[in-house]
Amino acid sequence: MPLGAFWGFAMNRLLGPTVLLLSVNAVLADGPLSLHNAATRGDVESVQLHLEQGADPNVKDSSKFTPLHIAARRGDVEIAQLLLDNGANPNANKRRIRPGRTPLHIALEHNQAEVVRVLLEGGADANAKAMYGMEPRVPLEIAIRNGNTTTARLLLDDGAKTGFWHCAGCKAQLERLEKENSPRATAVPTTKRRPKNALEDINRVGNRDVTGIINLFSLRQEIQVGRKFSYEVNKRIKTIDDPVIWEYVNRIGQNLAKNSDVKVPLEIKVVHDETINAFALPGGFFYVNSGLIQFARDEAELAGVMGHEIAHIAGRHGTRQVSQAQLIATTADALIQGFGGDNWGTLIAVNAANIALPLTFLKFSRTFEKKADFLGMQYLYKTGYDPLAMVAFFERLTARETERKGAITAAFSSHPLSRNRAMLLQKAIDELLPDQPAYAITGSEFEEIKARISKLYGGPTDNPERSAPPEILRRLLKEIREHNALRR
């Protein structure tokens, strides 16, 4: 091939992904204060990329402020929550000797009530002192000084003490506040608010894009990758082929899909596995464990978990997560090697098994989990179920986790629990979803299906939550590690 033709061919192949790679690298090349810069810009995608690549969410700038301080000052709830979910310290600068201002103090100074709420839910100390000149102040004092009754109520409801004052008249103001608002208002809003964007708008479900901006896989390629993995998975699992059980579970899934943003057909299988879990491969290949069906108290709880999985499929979280990792890790040599085959074909064939399968089976990023919770809640509501079923399911899992010291974490490993998940869902339901006079009621069919599973395949054991991933996952991951070792 003539040299000019070769370079034309190479540029045609490499230009699109290279431009994307350079833009991503430019975002990540801000140095040690990259998170601060992204938070200052209010750039959620950049913050997410930095965190997923190991950026320290607690690094401080010359003012001793962390990225969470910046989000608190801006009133950026989404970035604040993202930082907290990734280990940001809500009490940064809290010291015994000359304590500095924590993110909570900063949020109160700027009257950012929603960020105050998120920080308190994330563990911020409602009684942390900070030095203002020579004078120590507690958060409640700042709220009272600013005349902000909303933040004052939030602090009082979170256990803020009232006996430490350095401002004249604060106690009198507090007494008036308590008299005017007795009993205290709760943090849960009583009225619905207008959605801020298409993601929040329940009426836009099915007519919006929830797939993000960074994905190196076309939808067709994603289906091909998912089909390849499903072929391997199907060889190693024991499916429940009883037509009555499958038809029931498939019907729930397809009804949810009709009321979702998913753009691919769903292929649903029921797995004979007592582990409380479900998982989705890229491209719409969806597996529901019998242990999940047995653990659910009603059809709405089962549909809630399935809605969460459908949200992962609709958001294309598997290939998006692979793409982000690939863009950061790929060198020029790897790009050229990847394009040695049919467009992205070689890149998929070489790298998909190394990245996509572990991420898909074990865990998504916390950001994707939170989005799947939110979207799944919407899909549940649109299908006619009570969205509070998702809240109830997470609360039961969290309670069982506390009782059994990690058993549920192992069983529900592809969807890590956090104390905020149920709380965030409850808040979204209260703020955004119109109340319905009635929801779908679980009939006798759900209990009949559970009984049928027990009769045909055996009921759950005394301790169905295993201390390790199911055998299929262990074997698959062992094979992947061996394959990776051979490549090295």
Per-residue model confidence as pLDDT tens digits over 225-263: 899 989 988 988 999 999 999 999 999 999 999 999 999
Tell me whether residue 19 is in a domain: no
How many domains in the chain? 2
pLDDT at site 470: 40
Instruction: Give the torsion sign (CA, 217, 219, 225, 229).
Output: positive
Residues 40-87: tens digit of each pLDDT: 888 888 888 888 778 889 988 877 889 999 999 999 888 998 899 888
Q: Are 376 and 310 in contact (CB under 8 A)?
A: yes
Distant-in-sequence, close-in-space partners of 306: CB < 8 Å, separation ≥ 6: 252, 253, 256, 278, 286, 288
174 and 248 part of one domain: no
Please give the pLDDT value at position 176.
Answer: 66
Tokens of 292: 């999940």
Question: Are both 143 and 265 inside the same structural domain?
Answer: no
Residue-level pLDDT, tens digit, the chain, 488 residues: 444 444 343 434 444 444 444 444 444 445 567 888 888 888 888 888 888 778 889 988 877 889 999 999 999 888 998 899 888 999 998 776 778 899 999 999 888 988 998 899 888 999 898 887 777 888 888 888 777 878 888 888 888 887 655 665 666 666 666 665 554 334 444 458 888 889 999 999 999 999 987 888 899 999 998 999 899 889 889 999 999 999 999 999 999 999 999 999 999 999 999 988 898 989 999 999 999 999 999 999 999 999 999 999 999 988 888 877 766 555 334 433 333 333 333 233 323 333 334 333 345 777 888 899 999 999 999 999 999 999 888 888 877 766 665 554 444 444 545 556 788 888 899 999 988 877 876 678 999 999 999 999 886 543 434 333 344 444 444 555 555 555 55
Q: What is the pLDDT of residue 401?
A: 66
Residues 193 and 279: their CA atoms lie apart, in Å, by 33
Q: Does some domain include residue 186?
A: no
Q: What is the pLDDT of residue 478?
A: 53
Domain that holds residue 474: 205-487
91 and 164 fall within a common domain: yes
471 in the same domain as 331: yes
This prediction has a pTM of 0.60
Q: What is the pLDDT of residue 468?
A: 37
Q: 251 and 323, same structural domain? A: yes
Taking alpha carbons only, the member of 125, 170, 164, 117 closest to residue 143 is: 170
Out of 180, 196, 231, pick the residue that ends a domain: 180
Is 17 domain-assigned?
A: no
Q: Are residues 141 and 233 in the same domain?
A: no
Asked whether residue 7 is domain-assigned, the answer is no
- Are residues 407 and 446 located together in one domain of the fold? yes
Tell me which of 145, 180, 215 is where a domain ends. Answer: 180
Q: How many CB atoms lie within 10 A of CB 359?
A: 18
Asked if residue 368 and residue 410 are part of one domain, the reply reads: yes
Cα(444)–Cα(423) distance, integer angstroms? 30
Q: Are residues 152 and 229 in the same domain?
A: no
Structure tokens at 464: 């169905």
**In-domain check, residue 107:** yes
Whole-number Å distance between alpha carbons of 155 and 120? 8
> Which CATH number is 98's domain given?
1.25.40.20
Residue 364 lies in a domain: yes
Let me know if residue 16 belongs to a domain. no
26, part of any domain: no
